[in-house]
Amino acid sequence: MTDIAPDIAHHAALDARMVAAVRELRLLQLVSWPAALQPPFLESFARGQPAMPKIEYPKLDFSNARRELAAIIEEADAAHPLGRYLIESAQSWSTAAQLLEALGTPAVTVHSMALYGGPEERLPGDGPTTREAARHFIAIASELDRELLAPSEQVAISATALKLQLQSDLDDFFDARVIEVVMDPDLIAKAAAGATRIRLRAGASFSDYDRHQLLQHEAFVHSLTALNGRGQPHFPSLALSSPRTTATQEGLATFAEQITGSIDIERMKRVSLRIEAVAMALDGADFIEVFRYFLDAGQNEVESFASAQRVFRGVPPTGGAAFTKDAVYLRGLIGVHTFFRWALRQRKLRLCRLLFAGKMTLADVQRFEPLFDAGVIHPPRWLPQWVSRANGLAGMLAFSLFANRIRLDQVSADVPRFDI
């Protein structure tokens, strides 16, 4: 640390301590249900007597980690951008530790709400609540006729075929084998991404939209930000999926789907159904009721189980509690979209690219701008094409800024005038 300024060296040392302290806080891994719970539940449901799943969570003690995180908070300079980043990150990790120590109890809900918010939280700009936005997308998706889908959109892709396709796409992007696509028979979700590996659920079927969504969302956001974060010389925590960055990470990933045309209305419906399901669970619905909700919404039994278990990760499945992470997707999407439009208006589109230098929040990237200029934090090595092509990004955002000025309620419903 002798080649950097004392304030940077101080916070870099604290960052290294934080990375070491949170090594065992594998939040999503520890709250997730084992895949073995799915077959017996679906069998009981097929018999007409669905049995409530029973999950045994380990008793965990992260008191040492919490003490170290408290010490880091005490030693960080709250007036310094890196100090503020470390304080907020350590606080987030400490909450995550308390959540994990409470696994299997309703207290998980309190900590989950602190980390991710809930479905009644308002969207940026004092907009509608997240739940109201979710109901908007569910209603629109339900009104559309699925028969309008092109034949190519209805062809199922096997996990094996998708693995080969994604691997080819990724190898072409990196011009090397940097991220490996593997099959995972124990995965309940259809896919999951890390820095160097993307897992697909063995036996699952995917659509063409799924392929592009996984590439843009999982690989070119979640994996790229982790890879770029690993390349940071002084602050390796930028490679970690800190709970406080979840809204920005998921918002950025969903925005990537949107801007590349990789998202369809059914995907928006799935995201929105999960938000409504979280609200239902908080209102008292149990796992079986939430499972039936997804079934009634058009999902098959396997996907309904996967969707319902997301809501009850870490909490009792008997109702009145929920793991609220899925509430961040729409809120994060609106926040990132708003930030990108703000960046264009302020002539700061560079910040949109710097957002890929690691896993950070929208506030972080603004505070870190002088540190990027000074070379303390390095710019991203890898960028998805849509953000690296600044002119195309600016064109889309400029149109979005202008289109938002048009008042749809002022357009005549009887004789709409859209003359060209």
pLDDT digit string, tens, across residues 392-416: 776 767 766 666 665 545 554 544 4
- Specify the pLDDT at position 391: 67
- Specify the pLDDT at position 407: 55
- Specify the pLDDT at position 9: 97
- Specify the pLDDT at position 401: 63
Q: Which parts of the chain have pLDDT scores under 70?
A: 1-2, 145-154, 390-391, 394, 396, 399-420
How distant, in Å, are the alpha carbons of 264, 348, 350 from that of 366?
31, 10, 10
- Specify the pLDDT at position 4: 86
Report yes or no on 48 lying in a domain.
yes
Report yes or no on 183 lying in a domain.
yes
- Domain residue limits at 314: 26-61+102-405
State whether the Cα torsion 367-370-373-376 is positive or negative.
Answer: negative
Report yes or no on 348 lying in a domain.
yes
* 3-state SS class at 319: coil
Report yes or no on 94 lying in a domain.
no
- Specify the pLDDT at position 368: 98
Report yes or no on 379 lying in a domain.
yes
Residue 200's H or E segment, with its range, is: strand 197-201
Q: Are 217 and 376 in contact (CB under 8 A)?
A: no
- Specify the pLDDT at position 420: 42
Report yes or no on 320 lying in a domain.
yes
- Specify the pLDDT at position 37: 95
The structure tokens listed for 235 are: 């602050």
Q: Are 199 and 191 in contact (CB under 8 A)?
A: yes
327 phi and psi angles, rounded to 5 deg: -70, -15
* 3-state SS class at 140: helix
Report yes or no on 90 lying in a domain.
no
Kindly state the DSSP code that residue 53 receives in the 8-state scheme. P
- Specify the pLDDT at position 415: 46
* 3-state SS class at 312: coil
Report yes or no on 274 lying in a domain.
yes
- Specify the pLDDT at position 1: 46
pTM: 0.89
- Specify the pLDDT at position 266: 83
**CB within 8 Å of 168: residues ≥ 6 apart:** none
The structure tokens listed for 376 are: 């303390």
Q: Are 319 and 119 in contact (CB under 8 A)?
A: no
Q: How many domains does the chain have?
A: 1
